[in-house]
Structure formats: C-alpha cells, structure tokens
C-alpha cells in the first residue's frame, strides 16, 4: 500500500522547528525583540550594532539557513489542502497560491536577514548612515512585503473552510484567527511613513501587536498541520483496511 502522505509529518515539523529557531536566532540573538528604533540617530544606531555584531551575525547566519523551512512547511500545508481539494472535486488553484506564497515568504525572510547580516559584517569600518540604510532596507521588505504571506494564508483559509469533515482538519477558529492576522498586516503600510510612535517598526502596533499575533498564528497552524497530516494518514489506513 502506498502512503500519499509520506514525508508529510517531517515537513510539518519543519514549520515548528523554524518557529522555535526564529525566536532564538532572529529574535533573541538578532536583537529583534524589539528591533532598533528608527528614531535613533545614525551614530547611536551604529554604536548598538557594533556592540552586538557577534550575536547578530550568528543569529542571521542560522536564520538564513532555517528560513527554507517556511517553504517545506508550506508543502506540508499543501498536502492537507490537496486532500481537501480532491475530496471536494475542486481544482488546485488555492493550494497552488498557497505554495507560491510559502516560497515567496521564504524570500521575505532571506533577503532582510542577508541585509542585517551585512550590517553586522564590518560595522567598525562602515559609515553609520550606510549601516542604518541597509538595516532600514531589511525592515522595509520584512514588514511591507506582507501581501505574499497574506495571499498564502487567505488561500489556505478559503480552502480548508470547505473541509466537510464532522471535525474539520483545521478548527474554524484557527482559520478565522489566521485570516484576521494576515489581513491586519495592512497596518504595516504605515511603517515607512513614521520614525517613532505606534506605527514604527518597533512600535506598539506594528511590532508588538502585529508580530505577537503573527507568531501566535504560526503556533496554531503549526500544531494543527501536524495533527491534520496524522489524521489524513489514519483515514488513508482505515480506508485501505476496510477495502
């Protein structure tokens, strides 16, 4: 008997591994809890980078390596979506959008982390303004390219809401919460327009609120994707046992 969900659980775990890794390497070592305020002047900013360059370098090197897991996790989510689409006799538009969104979101991790790594590479000999510009560039992309992730999660949400199981693979509250999270990313639109206050990259709305709910969404989808792959495998085994 063939297993159509082979590798699925492994891929689902990669999302959870990346989540934990991101907290440690991007967040703690990368000095991103919260990030440096755009209100700092270039000299103050450069002094911070010079002081923490070692941690930032380690954090970003590892984060660059693990960011591919957003895509591999997206493949696990894609497996669950394809199962639902096949059961409903639907085409694969939503799962295709989701997987492309996952791939593009990986780039939204990789390019900014490369910029931040470059900032920490030789800050002692670089002009503070140059360091600040490259750091800002990273945050512009990280915050404002949200539409790629929004597309991924909305496509996933619309698909899994059509799951006809008695107990759906993803509970309704997880789906609607996640769709709220990615819609609320619209607030990041205001990040490049301000240097301090709630909408800045380190502000209460555009950092603490938005990133708080984003990580919560990641936890919920991570857990339920793992469960969903397990359930699909059980369903497949049960269907073949009864045949």
Partner 1 sequence: MRRERAPAIWIFIAMDCTSFGVLFLVFMYERMGQVALFDEASHLLNAPLGFFNACVLITSSWLVAWANIVGREGRFDEARRLMLAGMAVASIFLIVKVIEYYMKLSVGITVKTNAFFLFYYALTGVHLMHYLGGMVILAILAQGPSPYLPAAEAKASYLRWLEGGSLYWHMVDLLWIFIFSILYLIGAR
Q: Minimum distance from CB of 11 to partner 1 (Å)?
A: 26
140 is written with which tokens?
Answer: 């512009």
Residue in 56, 31, 77, 61 with CA at minimum distance from that of residue 201: 31
Rounded to a whole number of angstroms, the minimum distance from the CB of residue 65 to partner 1 is 33
Q: For residue 197, report the phi and psi dihedrals to the nearest 5 degrees.
A: 85, -175
Closer residue to partner 1 in complex, CB, 77/179: 179
Cis peptide before 34 (omega within 30 of 0): yes
Q: How far is the CB of 81 from partner 1 (least distance, A)?
A: 17
Closer residue to partner 1 in complex, CB, 2/164: 164
- For partner 1, the closer of residues 125 and 193 by Cβ is 193
Shortest distance, CB of residue 219 to partner 1, whole angstroms? 15
- Of the two residues 7 and 195, which places its CB atom closer to partner 1 in the complex? 195
Site residues (vs partner 1, CB under 8 A): 161, 163-168, 171-173, 175-177, 179-181, 183-184, 186-187, 189-190, 193-194, 197-199, 204-205, 209, 213
Nearer to partner 1, 63 or 152 (CB): 152
Cβ distance to partner 1 smaller for residue 198 or 230: 198
Q: How far is the CB of 92 from partner 1 (least distance, A)?
A: 16
Return the number of the residue (101 or 203) whose C-beta is nearest partner 1. Answer: 203
Report the distance separating Cα 167 and Cα 74, nearest Å: 22
Tell me how far, at minimum, the Cβ of 209 lies from partner 1, in Å.
6
Residues 82 and 93: their CA atoms lie apart, in Å, by: 10
Q: How far is the CB of 190 from partner 1 (least distance, A)?
A: 5
């Amino acid at each position: 008997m063939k297993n159509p969900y082979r590798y699925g659980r492994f891929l689902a775990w990669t999302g959870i591994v990346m989540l934990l890794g991101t907290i440690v390497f991007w967040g703690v070592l990368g000095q991103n809890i919260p990030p440096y305020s755009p209100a700092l002047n270039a000299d103050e900013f450069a002094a911070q980078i010079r002081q923490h360059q070692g941690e930032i370098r380690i954090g970003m090197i590892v984060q660059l390596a693990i960011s591919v897991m957003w895509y591999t996790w997206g493949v696990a989510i894609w497996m669950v979506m394809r199962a639902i689409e096949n059961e409903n006799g639907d085409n694969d538009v939503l799962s295709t959008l989701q997987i492309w969104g996952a791939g593009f979101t990986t780039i939204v991790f990789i390019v900014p982390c490369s910029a931040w790594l470059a900032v920490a590479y030789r800050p002692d000999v670089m002009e503070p303004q140059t360091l600040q510009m490259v750091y800002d560039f990273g945050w512009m992309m990280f915050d404002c390219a949200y539409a790629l992730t929004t597309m991924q999660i909305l496509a996933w949400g619309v698909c899994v809401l059509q799951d006809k199981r008695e107990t759906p693979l993803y509970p309704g509250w997880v789906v609607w919460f996640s769709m709220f999270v990615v819609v609320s990313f619209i607030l990041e639109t205001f990040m490049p327009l301000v240097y301090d206050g709630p909408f800045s990259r380190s502000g209460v709305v555009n950092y603490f609120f938005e990133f708080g709910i984003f990580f919560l969404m990641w936890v919920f989808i991570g857990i339920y994707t793992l469960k969903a792959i397990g359930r699909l495998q059980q369903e497949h085994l049960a269907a073949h046992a009864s045949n």
